[in-house]
């Protein structure tokens, strides 16, 4: 029922069925229903279904879904405006006694700020209707706030991403006036706040960066982490290389002293360096790699490990001699990784000078076990890697991934279907129903390219399906791109048209004529052409010769007269 929800009769059935009081559904089926409805082109009936879905989501335990599906479902419901309040991370800063925002004095504001800040530590956001009036009132009386309260306001601004110009301008001015009187750890925190809110205002970012640089002797390791968080998300245009060098040196001092690596800090470091095209010294990288190997066992989040491995590769570490020991340690954590971490690591392995065979095999086995967690783009990236491996078509991942793709019918766009089809054909996929499903998704697209058309033709040939929709798509693509094709493409096109029994003698003659012109002065190329094409060329040349003789005879007869 879920997979055919795009058809109007089934949509109407869903509309009636979901509205029933006795409607029962599991969290996994509910996720599939929402995923289908999110890609449904209907409007009026869809709105009624979404309202009913919102009521159901308040009853069934959607928190029991796996992390990735739970997050996608919450975002989906939130985008449709039907997410239940118990799943919304919001906090009100007003109490019933406080009334309107403009009547709050400095004392009441400070209490409200403290309460919101304590709840905001867990990532909870403020009610949208209260957010801007609250921060606007804070900006009005910010000159009365102590430094601690002012820092709490900036923290809340960053969490709620409030970028109202009048609020941000006045609070920024007040903070910059007090910058020299703020503790070093607060100044480092401000770098992250301003990077979140005003990353394009170079003067503010540079002023805060310079203040931190001047206090480099006072910076402790916790301050380094705060500053790196800001530099990691700031625009490259406001990057301060002097400050970054200081932070790197502080990190290396801590790493060498503790002889271990914090992967969160390492991720911030390598992300900032790669984003701003900074090349870390070789002995720094070697030390980080050595201590990372010793820290893998103690890291509870494998995604951080995969991100750091990818960061080393982006920094230019491509030799397997440098990464081999680190990769051996990672293999033990692969069984705990999600599909996103596996995808990141596979793409990193593709950039190395030589393959890390043990790590690649472990990642492919893990991907085969959990591929049902992946969305379409992750499937494409994994299949792209697998299609480049010798013997990749023999791995069980092909079977598992093909089965999973068959369940993503409504989530695949025509362009994604094109890439999936090409990779599955390279991997010699035998699931004809999945190949035909992807081919049907492709033919509705407006853009055309010959690689996709050839893939659709290959599906028709392998499955024995001669659907007119597929044949018309191939023929229309061939005609539209004809003048841009090379001789070998035209030869393949000629063979494809014959194999698919497309009745278009005029177009076939056009192909033969073009090939004849391209190979006129190169007899060796003509001898390499397929037998049926050589015969067609010979027939074409014979017809052209006879026509030329008749034309010459008519000219002579005309001259005698």
Q: According to the model, what pLDDT value does residue 5 have?
A: 44
CA gap 395, 516 in Å, rounded: 43
Burial of residue 282, with CB atoms counted within 10 A of its CB: 0-12 exposed, 13-18 middle, 19 or more buried:
exposed
330 neighbors 309 (Cβ within 8 angstroms): yes
Q: Which of 90, 94, 66, 67 is nearest to 78 (CA)?
A: 90
What DSSP character marks residue 255?
Answer: H
CA gap 538, 92 in Å, rounded: 84
Q: Which residue has the tokens 């200081």?
A: 246
CA gap 373, 67 in Å, rounded: 10
Kindly provide the residue ranges of all beta strands, DSSP E only, lying in 49-97, ordered along the sequence. 90-91
Q: Which residue has the tokens 């750890």?
A: 185
Tokens describing residue 376? 């379409």
- The answer to pTM > 0.75 is no
Tokens describing residue 95? 């109490």
Secondary structure class of 126 (helix, strand, coil)? strand
45 neighbors 58 (Cβ within 8 angstroms): no
CA distances from 110 to 137, 151, 468, 550 (A): 11, 12, 71, 102
Q: According to the model, what pLDDT value does residue 109 have?
A: 80
> Which residues are paired to 90 by β-bridges?
125
Per-block mean pLDDT, blocks of 10 residues, the chain (561 long): 46 58 67 69 55 73 71 74 66 52 76 79 69 85 89 86 84 91 92 79 88 92 91 87 93 89 88 88 88 75 83 87 86 86 90 89 92 87 91 90 84 84 90 88 76 89 86 88 86 86 85 77 61 73 72 74 62
Q: According to the model, what pLDDT value does residue 7 have?
A: 46
Q: According to the model, what pLDDT value does residue 367 have?
A: 92
CA gap 417, 377 in Å, rounded: 10
Element (H, E) at 117: helix 106-120
Q: According to the model, what pLDDT value does residue 30 have?
A: 77
> Which residues are paired to 125 by β-bridges?
90
CA distances from 170 to 106, 143, 207 (A): 16, 10, 16
Q: According to the model, what pLDDT value does residue 187 have?
A: 93
Q: According to the model, what pLDDT value does residue 299 have?
A: 62
CA gap 292, 287 in Å, rounded: 8
Buried b (16+ CB within 10 A) or exposed e, 384-397: bbbbeeeebeebeb
The count of residues in the chain is 561
> Which residues are paired to 126 by β-bridges?
91
CA gap 209, 187 in Å, rounded: 9
């Amino acid at each position: 029922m879920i997979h055919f929800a795009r058809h109007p009769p089934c949509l109407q059935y869903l509309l009636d069925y979901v509205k029933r009081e006795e409607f029962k559904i599991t969290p996994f089926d509910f996720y599939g229903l929402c995923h289908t409805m999110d890609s449904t082109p209907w409007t009026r009936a869809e709105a009624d279904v979404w309202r009913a879905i919102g009521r159901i989501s308040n009853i069934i335990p959607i928190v029991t879904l796996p992390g990735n599906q739970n997050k996608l479902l919450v975002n989906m419901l939130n985008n449709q405006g039907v997410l239940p309040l118990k799943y919304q991370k919001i906090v009100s800063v007003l109490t019933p006694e406080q009334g309107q925002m403009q009547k709050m004095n400095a004392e009441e504001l400070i209490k409200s700020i403290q309460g919101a800040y304590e709840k905001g530590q867990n990532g909870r956001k403020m009610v949208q209707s209260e957010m801007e009036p609250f921060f606007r009132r804070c900006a009005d009386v910010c000159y009365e706030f102590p430094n601690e309260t002012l820092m709490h306001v900036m923290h809340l601004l960053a969490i709620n991403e409030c970028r109202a110009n009048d609020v941000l301008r006045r609070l920024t001015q007040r903070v910059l006036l007090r910058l020299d009187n703020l503790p070093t750890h607060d100044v480092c925190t401000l770098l992250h706040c301003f990077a979140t809110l005003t990353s394009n205002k170079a003067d503010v970012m540079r002023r805060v960066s310079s203040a931190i640089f001047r206090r480099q002797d006072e910076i402790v390791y916790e301050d380094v982490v705060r500053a790196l968080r800001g530099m990691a998300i700031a625009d490259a245009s406001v990057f301060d290389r002097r400050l970054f060098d200081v932070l790197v040196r502080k990190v290396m001092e801590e790493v060498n002293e503790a002889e271990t690596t914090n992967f969160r800090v390492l991720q911030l470091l390598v992300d900032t360096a790669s984003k701003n095209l900074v090349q870390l010294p070789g002995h720094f990288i070697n030390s980080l790699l050595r201590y990372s190997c010793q820290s893998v066992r103690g890291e509870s989040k494998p995604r951080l490990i995969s991100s750091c491995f990818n960061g080393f590769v982006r920094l230019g570490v491509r030799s397997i001699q440098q990464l081999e020991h680190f990769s051996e340690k990672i293999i033990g954590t692969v069984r705990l990784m999600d599909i996103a971490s596996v995808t990141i690591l596979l793409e990193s392995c593709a950039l190395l000078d030589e393959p890390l065979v043990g790590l690649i095999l472990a990642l492919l086995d893990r991907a085969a076990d959990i591929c049902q967690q992946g969305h379409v783009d992750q499937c494409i990236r994994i299949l792209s890697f697998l299609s480049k491996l010798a013997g990749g078509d023999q791995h069980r991942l092909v079977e598992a991934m093909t089965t999973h793709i068959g369940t993503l019918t409504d989530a695949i766009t025509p362009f994604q279907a094109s890439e999936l089809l090409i990779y599955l054909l390279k991997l010699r996929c035998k699931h004809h129903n999945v190949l035909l499903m992807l081919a049907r998704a492709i033919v509705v697209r407006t853009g055309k390219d010959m690689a996709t058309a050839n893939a659709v033709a290959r599906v028709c040939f392998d499955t024995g399906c001669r659907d007119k929709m597929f044949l018309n798509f191939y023929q229309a693509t061939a005609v539209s791109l004809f003048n841009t094709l090379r001789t070998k493409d035209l030869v393949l096109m000629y063979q494809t048209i014959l194999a698919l029994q497309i009745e278009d003698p005029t177009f076939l003659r056009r192909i033969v004529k073009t090939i004849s012109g391209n190979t006129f002065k190169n007899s060796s190329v003509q001898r390499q052409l397929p037998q049926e094409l050589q015969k067609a060329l010979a027939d074409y040349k014979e017809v052209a010769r006879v026509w030329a003789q008749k034309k010459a005879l008519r000219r002579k007869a005309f001259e005698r007269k």
